[in-house]
């Protein structure tokens, strides 16, 4: 069975992905987990179907020896092959917190270049490192993703396992409840995506899948939405808004694939450049889903903007003490067509700002994150 490409046995640490790919092709594939039930007198074998794809993503949280069976269903060359996977305890205990920030790609925004702070000479790599230092481990410093589409991609020091019927990880931001409102305040929803390191290269270059939150199937949500931000030219002339903190209402132009356009406005509270200063590009383009606007002018005179809370499934959308609403289930993953997809685990997590809106004097909606943790690993030494 050497040519099949599947060995007789494998050994892997728990909470690590094992990718299995048969070299033989077939019309259909079945991957089964074979379990022994009962005692010696009443022993029986039970099978659980793990996947019907050609490749198997195997990831387990519990140690032990697992018996698997691959059936390649083919009229000419059917194949049945059984093998074992030994899952070991990790040699160094896993951390429940972010281990690495792999990508930090914010869109323009009033907190960009300050959260984290840009310093002259910084490059993409140094800003990525600053973002990592802000949110990795038990660090709890906000980083801003800027306007719609801006994102961060991070990983833990292990694969986050998709436990059946359980929430798998939590991400915190800085949403808060307005004292005058029941279901709103400051809420800047960020959309979450997950990916498995199928090619096993440690890079987030495999397909990402969105976790379908409460607004995913809202008729006002736009999927396959694309926005391009245009760097402000050197000869730009600002346009002030009278009796307003807005110092430039036509600061950074954006255009989208729906025929729309607008501006990321500049205000007197944040005077630095809003376009990521470590980049040389004249434009930035992002693609994803755009959630319905959640903000409104409560007083009607521009003095009190309120952003309504959405339900479960978004970062920086509900206050951090709403742990359940800030936690995520890998089982919510869907394909680009909105079809559910089963992922045994997630190796990479991506968060991007999900709303494209300006809110008067408080500026653009920009998701912030400060902290994340795997809900299946407990750290007694931390408040989390």
Q: Which domains does the chain have, with CATH numbers?
A: 2-88 (2.60.40.10), 100-374 (no CATH)
Sheet with 348-353: list strands edge to edge.
Answer: 100-105, 151-155, 348-353, 190-195, 208-211, 333-334
pLDDT tens readout for residues 232-277: 999 999 999 988 999 999 999 999 999 999 999 999 999 999 999 9
pLDDT value, residue 378: 84
Find the distance separating the first CA and the last CA of the chain, reported in whole Å. 48
Whether pLDDT at 303 is above 90: no
Q: 17 with 59: CB under 8 angstroms?
A: yes
pLDDT tens digit sequence for 82-95: 999 999 999 999 99
Q: Identify the pLDDT of residue 43.
A: 58
pLDDT tens digits, one per residue of 81-130: 999 999 999 999 999 999 999 999 999 999 999 999 999 999 999 999 99
Per-residue pLDDT, averaged over 352-371, amounts to: 96
Residue 5 CA to residue 10 CA, distance in Å, equals 12
Share of the chain above pLDDT 70, in %: 95
Q: Which residue intervals of 221-368 are DSSP H helices?
A: none
- Chain Cα centroid distance, residue 160: 12
Q: Which helix (H) or strand (E) holds 126?
A: helix 124-135
205 pLDDT exceeds 50? yes
pLDDT on residue 178:
78
Residues 203-220, mean pLDDT to the nearest whole number: 98
Distance CA 263, CA 211 (A): 29
Q: How confident is the model at residue 1 (pLDDT cuts 50, 70, 90)?
A: very low
């Amino acid at each position: 069975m050497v040519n099949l490409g599947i060995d007789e046995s494998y050994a892997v640490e728990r909470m690590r992905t094992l990718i299995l790919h048969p070299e033989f092709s077939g019309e259909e594939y079945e991957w089964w987990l074979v379990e022994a039930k009962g005692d010696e007198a009443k022993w029986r074998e039970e099978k659980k179907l793990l996947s019907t794809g050609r490749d198997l993503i195997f990831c387990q949280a519990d140690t032990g020896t697992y018996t698997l069976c691959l059936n390649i269903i083919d009229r000419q060359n059917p194949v049945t092959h059984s093998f074992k996977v030994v899952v070991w305890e990790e040699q160094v205990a896993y951390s429940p917190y972010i281990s690495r920030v792999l990508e930090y790609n914010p869109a323009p925004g009033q907190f960009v270049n300050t959260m984290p702070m840009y310093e002259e000479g910084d490059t993409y790599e140094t800003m990525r490192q600053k973002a990592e230092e802000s949110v990795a481990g038990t660090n709890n410093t906000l980083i801003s993703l800027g306007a719609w589409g801006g994102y961060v991609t991070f990983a833990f020091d292990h694969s986050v396992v998709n436990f059946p019927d359980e929430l798998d990880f939590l991400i915190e931001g800085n949403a808060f409840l307005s004292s005058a409102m029941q279901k709103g305040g400051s809420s800047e929803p960020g959309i979450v995506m997950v990916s498995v390191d199928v090619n096993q290269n440690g890079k987030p270059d495999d397909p990402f899948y969105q976790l379908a939150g409460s607004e995913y199937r809202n008729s006002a949500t736009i999927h396959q939405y694309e926005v391009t931000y245009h760097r402000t030219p050197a000869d730009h002339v600002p346009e002030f808004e009278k009796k307003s903190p807005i110092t430039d209402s036509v600061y950074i132009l954006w255009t989208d694939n729906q025929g729309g356009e607008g501006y990321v406005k500049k205000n007197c509270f944040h005077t630095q450049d809003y376009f990521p200063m470590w980049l040389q590009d004249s434009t930035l383009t992002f693609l994803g889903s755009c959630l319905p606007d959640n903000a409104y002018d409560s007083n009607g005179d521009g003095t009190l903007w309120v952003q309504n809370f959405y339900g479960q499934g978004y970062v920086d959308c509900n206050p951090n003490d709403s742990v359940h609403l800030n936690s995520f289930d890998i089982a919510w993953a869907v394909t680009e067509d909105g079809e559910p997809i089963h992922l045994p685990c997630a190796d990479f997590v991506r968060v991007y700002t999900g709303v494209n809106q300006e809110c008067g004097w408080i500026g653009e909606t920009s998701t912030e994150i400060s902290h994340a943790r795997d809900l299946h690993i407990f750290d007694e030494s931390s408040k989390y």
